[in-house]
Amino acid sequence: MNYTTIQNIDSLSKWVKQALKIKKKPLKNKKLGKDKTLGMLFFNSSLRTRLSTQKAALNLGMNVMVMNFTNEGWTLEFEDGAIMNSGASEHIKEAAEVVSQYCDIIAVRAFAGLIDKEKDNAETVLSGFIKHATVPIINMESATAHPLQALADAITMAEYKTKHKPKVVLSWAPHPKALPQAVANSFLEMMQLQDADFILTHPEGYELNPDITKGVTVEYDQNKAFENADFIYAKNWSSYKDYGQVTNSDTSWTITAEKMKRTNNAKFMHCLPVRRNVIVTDEVLDSENSIVIEQANNRTFAAQLVLQKILKTKL
C-alpha cells in the first residue's frame, strides 16, 4: 500500500474516525512498528511534516532515518536512458532500490519546480520512487499533492464542525514568493470526499488545474465567498495558467478581522508556515477562532494512521 494521493483513501469518514481514535491513545500500537524502519527523504525544507511524521513513527515503535537531499545526498537523475555526463551523480533506479534495502517504508518530500508544468504534473521525483522502490511510499508533499496535510485538515474540521454540512471556503491570499499548488489541490480533492458547502475563491488568473477543480464552485469575489462561512482555509499558490508566476500580490486578499466578520464566526485554518500580515493579519491568527496549531498537531495522527495502515499490511 502506498499513500501518495487523496485517492488512496477508501473512506474519508472512516479514516477520520480512526485517526481520532489514535489521537486519544497514541501509544496503543507502540509494538506494531518494532524493528521496522521509516526512511524520510527530503528534497525540500520542512518543520511540521518532518517532525510530525517522525513523531508518528516513534509512537508506533518504528526506527526513523532522515536524509536531506538538499545538502547531503547525491544529485539524482530521473530520466530513463540519460547520458549522465553532467550534474547528476546517481540514477533514481539505483537510489530507490538501495534505500528500499535499508527501510521498510520510504516517505518522500519533493516540491514542484514551478518552471515546467508538464514535468511537475508528471511528479518526476515521487513517481521515480514509486516505480523503482520495492517498499511502500508515502508522499510528504510532492509537486502536485500534499495528502498528509489534507488528511490532517479533514481530522481538524471533523473536530471543530458544528453542523453536518458546514460552509468551507478555500481562499487564495497574497505571498511574495511563488508557491506550489499542492496543498490547495489535495484540500480540494479531500473536500470532494465529504458533505460540505465548499467554495473556492481566488483572483482571476489563479485558477487551479481544471482536472482538480471540476465541479467545484469558484467565486471571484472573496467578500461574497466569506458570507456565513464556517471555515476559512487560507493558502497562497502561484499561477497555474502563467505557470509558477506571481501575477498578483493584491493585499486586499489578505485575511483580516473585518473579513472574518462576514462569516458565521468561522474557524481560521492554514497549513503553516504562514507569513503574518501578508496572508493573514496578527489579529486573525492570534484570535480564538484560529485553529492552526491544532491543525498542525493533527499532522501526527494523520501520519500515524497512514503508517499504521501500511504496517498492518504485514510488510
Residue 186 engages ligand CP in binding (rule: CB under 6 A): no
18, 43, 267, 283: which is closest to 166 by C-alpha?
A: 267
Q: Does 276 carry a binding-site annotation?
A: no
- Which residue, chain included where needed, has cell 508556515? 273
Stretch that binds ligand CP, among 46-54, 60-68, 110-118, 124-132 (CB under 6 A): 46-54
Query: Which residue, 100 or 238, is less far from ligand CP as judged by CB?
Result: 238
Question: Hey, is 18 helix, strand or coil?
Answer: helix
Q: What does the alpha-carbon distance between residue 107 and residue 206 come to, in Å, rounded to a whole number?
A: 30
Query: Which residue, 48 or 202, is less far from ligand CP as judged by CB?
Result: 48
- Number of residue whose CB is nearest ligand CP: 49
Q: Does 262 carry a binding-site annotation?
A: no
Establish how many alpha carbons lie within 13 A of residue 153's alpha carbon, considering only the half-sphere containing its beta carbon: 30
In the DSSP assignment, the letter for residue 251 is G
Q: In what helix (H) or strand (E) does residue 77 lie, and over which residues does it extend?
A: strand 76-77
Residue 230 engages ligand CP in binding (rule: CB under 6 A): no
Question: Hey, is 199 helix, strand or coil?
Answer: strand
Stretch that binds ligand CP, among 1-9, 123-131, 252-260, 269-277 (CB under 6 A): 269-277
Q: Which three cell numbers stand for residue 3?
A: 499513500
Query: Which residue, 125 or 271, is less far from ligand CP as judged by CB?
Result: 271
Q: Does 149 carry a binding-site annotation?
A: yes
Q: What does the alpha-carbon distance between residue 47 and residue 45 come to, in Å, rounded to a whole number?
A: 7
Question: Hey, is 3 helix, strand or coil?
Answer: strand
Residue 50 beta carbon to ligand CP: minimum distance, rounded to whole angstroms: 6
Are 140 and 109 a contacting pair, CB within 8 Å? yes
**Ramachandran angles phi, psi of 217, nearest 5°:** -75, 125
Query: Which residue, 120 or 153, is less far from ligand CP as judged by CB?
Result: 153
Among 82, 98, 272, 315, binds ligand CP (CB under 6 A): 272
Helices marked H in 124-168 — which ranges? 124-132, 147-160
Q: Does 41 carry a binding-site annotation?
A: no
Residue ranges in 48-77 that form contacts with ligand CP under rule CB under 6 A: 48-49
Separation of CA 235 from chain center: 11
Residue 47 engages ligand CP in binding (rule: CB under 6 A): yes
Q: Which three cell numbers stand for residue 66?
A: 532522515
Among 40, 170, 179, 271, binds ligand CP (CB under 6 A): 271
Q: Does 4 carry a binding-site annotation?
A: no
Q: Report the sign of the C-alpha dihedral through residues 180, 183, 189, 191, in that order.
A: negative
Among 100, 149, 156, 289, binds ligand CP (CB under 6 A): 149
Residue 53 beta carbon to ligand CP: minimum distance, rounded to whole angstroms: 9
* Per rule CB under 6 A, count of chain residues that contact ligand CP: 9
Stretch that binds ligand CP, among 173-181, 248-256, 271-279, 281-289 (CB under 6 A): 271-279
CA–CA distance from 282 to each of 171, 274, 292 (Å)?
17, 11, 13
Among 8, 46, 121, 297, binds ligand CP (CB under 6 A): 46
Q: Does 74 carry a binding-site annotation?
A: yes
Residue 148 beta carbon to ligand CP: minimum distance, rounded to whole angstroms: 8
Are 60 and 34 a contacting pair, CB within 8 Å? no
The contact set with ligand CP (CB under 6 A) reads: 46-49, 141, 149, 271-273
Q: Which residues are annotated as a binding site for N(2)-succinyl-L-ornithine?
A: 141, 175, 235, 275
Annotated binding site for carbamoyl phosphate: 46-49, 74, 109, 146-149, 271-272, 299
